[in-house]
Amino acid sequence: MLKIIYAPNPIFKNKAKAIAVVDDEIRELSSDMLKTMHAENAVGLGANMVGIDRQIIVVDLKEEGISKPYVMINPKIIESSENIVEFEEASISFPGISAVIKRPDQIKVSYLDLDNRPQVINAEGFFARVIQHEIDYLHGIVFIDYLSKLKRDMLLKKMTKFIKNHPPHVHGPGCSH
């Protein structure tokens, strides 16, 4: 299990480093990211959310209870639809808060898979939103960056209070969930 990084943290303002080649170290890191994401009951995770300054995201919507994980190395949005939709977003790195964010409803993404092969996928709806949210993390952007300073500051204050009243749980061998 990897440790979740909580805001505020300078890593969320850094652009993650591209990966030259997908090797066993990257495959192991990706596996650990998937395990951590599942333990946190999250649908997506960017590498910097676990303190890794590399361009990796993992996504698993578990549609109809079926796990279909995606690991995307050096993901890049190469096309976006003009149709913009609003949706409430949250993040395990920003516990206790959420905000309505506008994003394109459909995207096309290029990335490397775990076999170091280039891939391109089309995503729409919630799947597209999760991918965009996680790719943003790799570019030093978090979902609250889309808000006004006043709204952002209000949410960060709310998050600080939430963390004080609900300290983050560290998953481990004795964890019951």
> Which residues are catalytically annotated?
134
Instruction: Give the long-range contacts of residues 98-104, CB within 8 A, separation 24 or more.
Output: 99/143, 99/144, 99/146, 99/147, 99/151, 99/155, 101/143, 101/146, 102/146, 103/128, 103/129, 103/132, 103/133, 104/80, 104/128, 104/132
Backbone φ and ψ of 89, nearest 5°: -115, 155
Q: Extract the tokens encoding 34.
A: 């998937």
Burial class (CB in 10 A: 0-12, 13-18, 19+), 137: buried
Instruction: Give the long-range contacts of residues 62-65, CB within 8 A, separation 24 or more.
Output: none
